[in-house]
A and B are shown apart, each in its own frame.
Chain A
Amino acid sequence: MIDRDEVMHVARLARLELSSEEVERMAGELSHVLEHVERIGELDLEGAPPTSHVVPLENVLREDVPRPSLSRERALESAPESADGGFGVPSPGA
């Protein structure tokens, strides 16, 4: 089962900041769901390969022809901040 420290570790990996109340609640809820999910541990999976795609597909190719794509201006229109023709972000090192 999953404890508070694990919840905080996973939250860091997922770039989520959880309040201490959320951490507490999440530990209980995730444990409950994982308990159900762990029933797949009972199955014999010998010889069953993992699914990569449900419908057999291979090498989906198309002609390599240039087509119009999103312009830089269009792509930046929805950005909270843009600078010098790119996306603006705070410094990673601050």
Chain B
Amino acid sequence: MSAATALSASEAARQIEAGSLSASELFDEYRDRAAADSSGAFLHVAERPLQGATAGPLAGVPLAVKDLFCVEGVPSTAGSRILEGYRPPYTATVVARLAEAGAPMLGKTNMDEFAMGSSNENSGYGPVTNPWDRERVPGGSSGGSAAAVAGGLAPWAIGTDTGGSIRQPAALCGLVGMKPTYGAVSRYGMIAFASSLDQAGPITRDVADAALLLSHMVGRDHCDSTSLGLPEPVRAPSAERLDGLRFGVSPELAGGGLEGVEPGVAEVLQATLRTIEELGGAVEEVHLPHSGHGLSAYYVLAPAEASANLSRYDGVRYGLRRGGADLRSMYEDTRSAGFGPEVKRRIMLGTYSLASGYYDAYYGRAQRVRTLIAEDFRRAFDQVDFIVTPTSPTVAFRLGERTADPLAMYLSDYFTVPMSLAGVPAISLPAGLSEGLPVGVQLAGPAFSENAILDAAHALEGALGFEGGPWRG
């Protein structure tokens, strides 16, 4: 591996600005690596930087983009066969912002179809392997983005997170991944899964890169009326201590509510809590009494929203069309041929829970549970600055290990879903190894606390000294 592809994105940007590294050579090197890759991480690799976006604060450091983001004239499929060959007539706001800031798109990364999955095995275009162990999954749904960054095929990437789809693959690939406060980043041009939960965020090799990328993603957008931006700019994190900060560990989220947290994961969490204390932070118990029900509420709400959002794939305006004897059979043939099994399952689940007779028992109840979970977090953040959990109950699992049991796959999201339901920001950072595979720890904070989370993560990162990413060669 060359020296340039082993650099963090921030360091590459510094070297380009200092004149010791060429932006076009860096792009070409990553492009060649991405084009030659056989891990399935990319669905499309750009020939050259689009829009000539190599000037600006990001200095031309190329960016891998999850295939959920529409890019004008570039194949954008969301990992689904129903959008095979689709080239959108417009570009997602966040991709346009990053291009303007000097991060040209390197390519589009593989993902679970319509972001539904935790292993990337639900892609309509084949699985992705984890650079740490090619027999294991990279996590999902932003699995291609995480595998690309960890495998040295891209210096950094953007993903999207609905119930953990940035944080979990970042954890399984030994990377930093951040889901911002709901509304911090525009959703315009993101192919919708569950609109009240979807957020874009960075997947990077370190915390400084995450802050730098995020700083150019956030902002209000007149094309997304739920976008708010952040009250202050995202700063470069510099903290090295955690003095005076309080970190909450919730018994409801620390394994008490879930069997199946691997002992190796629990050990890394305990070691991280000790490191927090060594850095001057206080660790205390905090209660999130309804969080144990997060997964249940999520698997009603997200499929319900998805069933409505995915009704647009009907063979009329774009994408696949099948059949055609009459309108109804055209709809049914198109959707039955174009959607994969997990997407069909979630559409069915969502349609069921919204159907007359079931609405109150499922969707209505889940929306109330969501309120209780959000209130739990608000109360907890009166007591502590952050909540700490493992990001995933397990390290990267083997390809095929969980495909037969949808519910077992859903349990991957146990620790990440409550923050999504509450709309609060959370970061996953690599904190250690178990069985030679990376373990991520999640730090969540109150809405709009991105800078505080990034600072705390930076201090922890320095003290934990996690090394050994495959991109280092």
Provide the residues of chain B in CB contact with A48, threshold 8 Å.
368-369, 371-372
* Docked-complex contact B422 and A54, CB < 8 angstroms: yes
The complex places the Cα of A6 from the Cα of B296 at a distance, in Å, of 21
* Docked-complex contact B423 and A90, CB < 8 angstroms: no
Given contacts A43-B369, A45-B365, A48-B371, contact A80 B293 (CB under 8 A): no
The complex places the Cα of A40 from the Cα of B311 at a distance, in Å, of 27
Within 8 A of A (CB), among B295-310: 295-297, 299-300, 307
In the complex, B182 has a CB within 8 A of chain A: yes
The complex places the Cα of A26 from the Cα of B14 at a distance, in Å, of 53
- Could you say which of B225, B325, B366, B374 contacts A40, with CB atoms under 8 Å apart? B366
Name the distance in Å between B112's Cβ and chain A's nearest Cβ: 17
Provide the residues of chain B in CB contact with A18, threshold 8 Å.
336, 344
Q: Produce 1/0 per residue, A3-19, CB < 8 A to B.
A: 00011001101111110
Within 8 A of B (CB), among A46-94: 48-51, 53-55, 57, 60, 62, 70, 74-75, 77-81, 87, 89-94
Chain A interface category by residue count: 35 or more
- Could you say which of B324, B348, B372, B374 contacts A7, with CB atoms under 8 Å apart? B348
Max chain B Cβ within 10 angstroms of own Cβ: one of A18, A60, A90:
A90
Q: Produce 1/0 per residue, B60-74, CB < 8 A to A.
A: 000000000000000
Chain B interface category by residue count: 35 or more
Name the distance in Å between B195's Cβ and chain A's nearest Cβ: 11
* Docked-complex contact A55 and B406, CB < 8 angstroms: no
- Could you say which of A17, A26, A33, A80 contacts B299, with CB atoms under 8 Å apart? A33
- Could you say which of A29, A50, A91 contacts B368, with CB atoms under 8 Å apart? A50
In the complex, B364 has a CB within 8 A of chain A: yes
In the complex, B139 has a CB within 8 A of chain A: no
- Could you say which of B89, B295, B345 contacts A78, with CB atoms under 8 Å apart? B89
- Could you say which of B293, B325, B410 contacts A94, with CB atoms under 8 Å apart? B325
Q: Produce 1/0 per residue, A23-47, CB < 8 A to B.
A: 0001001101110111111010100
* Docked-complex contact A39 and B296, CB < 8 angstroms: yes
Known: A16-B344, A37-B299, A87-B316. 19 other contacts (CB 8 A): A15-B314, A22-B344, A32-B406, A32-B407, A33-B407, A36-B296, A36-B299, A37-B300, A40-B365, A45-B368, A45-B369, A48-B372, A50-B367, A54-B182, A55-B423, A79-B318, A80-B318, A81-B321, A94-B327
Binding site for A on B (CB under 8 A): 86-90, 181-183, 196, 222, 225-226, 228, 290, 293, 295-297, 299-300, 307, 311, 314-321, 324-328, 330-333, 335-336, 339, 344-345, 347-349, 351-352, 355, 361-362, 364-372, 374, 406-407, 410, 421-423, 447
